[in-house]
Amino acid sequence: MIAVTDQPIDIQACLDAVQSERAGAVDVFIGTVRNHNNARSVVRLEYESFDSMAIRKMTELAEEAARRWPVEKIAIVHRKGVLSIGDVAVVIAVATPHRAESFEACRWVIDTLKQVVPIWKKEIYDDGEEWLEAHP
């Protein structure tokens, strides 16, 4: 399951999507909206996505993960739109036969997603707002 959605992410649906009788391990990464960043108080977030390219890049991540590790099933779902504190922004679930590879593959996917998938995060503070990573 690969998706970008403006609706709350259904984590159970992600888990159901990676269910496999051959898998003994599922590692799930859940990225949520924190109430602060770099000592500034965050009021809400806005995620913007270039959907068609984001889906393409997420699909490539899933394929590359399956080449590097014995992945049985994988789910990558990213939220877009306005998010409040505590909301789930991204879920990555990776099912593999053994646990070491589930951790490694899941971590590689989130690390690489943050570098290559065209999704942008704006943090809104009490006293302003900022597109993350935009400036040096």
Partner 1 sequence: MELTVHLFGITRDITRKSRHTVVLEEGSSVQDLLRRFYTEYPELEGLKSLVVAVNDEYAEPTQVLNIRDEVALIPPVSGG
- Contact residues: partner 1, CB under 8 A: 31, 47-50, 52-54, 56, 78, 89-90, 99, 110, 113-122, 131-136
Instruction: Pick the stretch among 13-21, 46-54, 61-69, 122-130 that binds a second copy (CB under 8 A).
Output: 13-21
Which position among 1, 5, 13, 31 is part of the footprint of a second copy (CB under 8 A)?
A: 31
Our CB check for partner 1 shows the closer of 47 and 69 to be 47
**Does residue 61 interact with a second copy by CB under 8 A?**
no
Phi, psi of 108 (to 5 degrees): -60, -40
Interactions with a second copy, residue window 78-117 (CB under 8 A): 85-86, 97, 99, 102-103, 106-107, 110
